[in-house]
């Protein structure tokens, strides 16, 4: 087997692993995450009422920057922590979203450019 | 006809139409729980409305007179939710009954709130610092009360109420005499989750992280039994379902004599609440017992 073929096989074997561990968690569905986002998050982050005490930040490019709007590192762990525990006037989604929901939401947030 | 004269009028009309706030339409599907002919409102237990709010029970004004007349508690309906002013105003149009077989199973007007002039219930609440107090402790002050739960994800509900109360708190603080003769109380109907430390953290977010603000604005809750009594007294509807709390919205103004002065449930502005609070405060008396003399809980 020549070297090119070996590389192709190795790439094909590793590609799904790289996708799974790209910050989305195993079995995460960005499509389902978008549905959850539309239901729970969009009314604040996409089109917030003007009279809220603090205007929620837009989430486009959330994971493209080094830091979140709060100043914390832009990591999956930090974003999950913010969703579950809330932050300042952002409500906590504690006991409301399952682990799978969180995986899917984070997977969707990774797709926002 | 001189058409040149019409041009500015037409232009002005186009400008005006452009200034009107944008409306959005959403599909609602749910069951009617209550109907109030005095306010043209129906209370609907509805399914998820993506982009507007999760499944919830809430009151809506009905702008369609025929739809309002036909619909009865127990009916399954579909309707258009129209929102304006970024969701701060909303109402129903095109109400259609899809199933009226459940009509006789629900009696209208199941919640009987206190009338204007009635005294507030003497029930104990626990605030963000773990101190107990009663709504009657504020005699001599005009008190504005509302109900939230800290995990509420609907920006036009609890976050809006707390934001409006924060604005009122800031505005009143500009006039020491107004500040001294008024008080704000936010009551959580989720006591299992909204413990004093959770309420304290929530309150601080709306007080710019300044705990001194708690002397004028309490965040409180109580045991489920007393909470239900307080909610019934003020006409608040809430119930837990699928780890989420469906609820209506209520703001109550309490006079310095400790009686119900006014309710708001569907439409209000911060300025209107503030004006009503100041009006009550004018007819009140100077408080004789400082608020700090509450019993420790």
| Tens of pLDDT, residues B55-81 | 777 778 888 777 888 888 889 999 998
B182, B283: one domain:
yes
Q: Tell me the CATH number at B91.
A: 2.40.50.320
Largest alpha-carbon pair distance within chain A? 67
- Banded pLDDT at A20 (limits 50, 70, 90): very low
Q: Are residues B63 and B150 in the same domain?
A: no
Domain limits for position B261: 124-292
Q: B133 and B100, same structural domain?
A: no
Instruction: Return contacts of A109-112, CB within 8 angstroms, 24+ apart.
Output: A109/A33, A109/A37, A109/A59, A109/A62, A109/A63, A109/A79, A110/A22, A110/A23, A110/A24, A110/A30, A110/A63, A111/A30, A111/A34, A112/A59, A112/A60, A112/A61, A112/A62, A112/A63
**Cβ contact B154–A48 (<8 Å):** no
Domain match, B63 and B134 both: no
Same domain, B135 and B179: yes
More confident residue, B45 or B162: B162
The per-residue DSSP string of B36-96 comes to ETTTTEEEEEE--BTTTBSSEEEEEEE--HHHHHH--TT-EEEEEEEEETTTTEEEEEEEE
With beta carbons under 8 A apart, name residues in chain B contacting A51.
Answer: 88, 160, 163-164, 167, 270
Does residue B83 share a domain with residue B138?
no
Question: For chain A, which residues make up each domain, given as ranges?
Answer: 3-111
Nearest Cβ partner for B163 among A40, A53, A91 = A53
B263 and B155 in one domain?
Answer: yes
Let me know whether B158 and B97 are in one domain. Answer: no
**Nearest chain B Cα distance for residue A88, angstroms:** 5
Put simply, the answer to whether B151 touches A96 (Cβ < 8 Å) is yes
B contacts of A83 (beta carbons < 8 Å): none
B34 and B135 belong to one structural domain: no
Residue B297 covered by a domain: no
Is the residue at B29 inside a domain? Answer: yes
- Kindly state the average pLDDT of the residues A51-68: 92
User: B161 pLDDT exceeds 60?
Assistant: yes
Together in a domain, B268 and B133: yes
Candidate from A23-27, B44-48, B100-104, B126-130 with smallest mean pLDDT = A23-27
A3-111, what's its fold? Answer: Cytochrome Bc1 Complex; Chain D, domain 2 (1.10.760)
Cβ neighbours of B159 in A, within 8 Å: 44, 52-53, 89, 91
**What are B2-43's pLDDT values in tens digits?**
445 544 444 434 443 444 457 888 899 998 888 877 677 888
Residue B3 lies in a domain: no
| Cβ neighbour number for residue B73 with a 10 Å cutoff | 20
Q: ipTM beyond 0.95? A: no
- Assigned domain for B281 exists: yes
In our burial notation (b when 16+ CB lie closer than 10 A, e otherwise), range B205-241 reads: bbbeeeeebbebbbbbbbeeeebeebbbbbbbbbeee
Identify whether B138 is part of a domain: yes
Q: Specify if B8 maps to a domain.
A: no
B55 shares its domain with B178? no
Assess if residue B134 is contained within a domain.
yes
More confident site: B19 or A3: A3
Q: How many domains does chain B have?
A: 2
Q: Examine the domain organization and report whether B258 and B165 are in the same domain.
A: yes
A74-103 pLDDT, tens digit per residue, is 999 999 999 999 999 999 999 889 999 999
């Amino acid at each position: 087997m020549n070297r090119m073929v070996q590389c192709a096989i190795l790439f094909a074997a590793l590609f799904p692993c790289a996708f799974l561990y790209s910050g989305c968690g195993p079995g995460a569905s960005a499509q389902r995450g978008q549905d959850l986002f539309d239901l729970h998050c969009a009314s604040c982050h996409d089109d917030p009422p003007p009279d809220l005490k603090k205007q929620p930040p837009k989430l486009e490019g959330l994971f493209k920057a080094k830091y979140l709007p709060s100043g914390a590192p832009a990591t999956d762990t930090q974003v999950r922590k913010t969703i579950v525990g809330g932050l300042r006037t952002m409500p906590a989604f504690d006991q409301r979203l399952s682990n799978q929901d969180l995986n899917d939401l984070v997977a969707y947030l990774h797709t926002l450019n | 006809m001189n058409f040149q004269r019409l041009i500015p009028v037409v232009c002005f009309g186009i400008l005006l139409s452009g200034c009107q706030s944008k409306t959005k339409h959403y599909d609602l599907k749910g069951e009617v729980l209550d109907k109030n002919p005095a306010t043209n409102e129906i209370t609907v237990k509805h399914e998820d409305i993506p982009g507007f709010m999760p499944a919830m029970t809430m009151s809506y004004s009905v702008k369609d007179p025929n739809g309002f007349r036909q619909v009865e508690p127990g009916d399954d309906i579909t309707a258009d939710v129209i929102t304006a002013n970024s969701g701060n105003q909303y109402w129903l149009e095109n109400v259609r009954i899809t199933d009226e077989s459940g009509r006789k199973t629900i009696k209208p007007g199941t919640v009987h709130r206190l009338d204007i002039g009635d005294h507030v219930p003497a029930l104990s609440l626990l605030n963000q610092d773990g101190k107990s107090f009663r709504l009657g402790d504020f005699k001599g002050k005009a008190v504005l009360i509302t109900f939230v739960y800290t995990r509420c994800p609907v920006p036009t509900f609890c976050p809006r109420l707390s934001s409006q109360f924060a604005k009122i708190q800031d505005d009143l603080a500009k006039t020491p005499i107004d500040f001294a003769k008024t008080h704000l109380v936010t009551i959580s109907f989720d006591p299992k989750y909204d413990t004093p430390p959770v309420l304290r953290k929530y309150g601080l977010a709306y007080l710019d992280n300044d705990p001194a603000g708690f002397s004028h604005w309490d965040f409180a809750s109580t045991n489920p039994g007393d909470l239900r009594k307080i909610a019934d007294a003020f006409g608040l509807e809430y119930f837990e379902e699928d780890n989420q709390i469906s609820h209506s919205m209520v703001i109550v103004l309490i006079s310095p004599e400790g009686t119900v002065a006014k309710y708001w449930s569907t439409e209000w502005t911060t300025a209107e609440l503030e004006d009503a609070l100041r009006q009550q405060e004018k007819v009140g008396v100077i408080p004789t017992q400082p608020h700090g003399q509450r019993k420790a809980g």
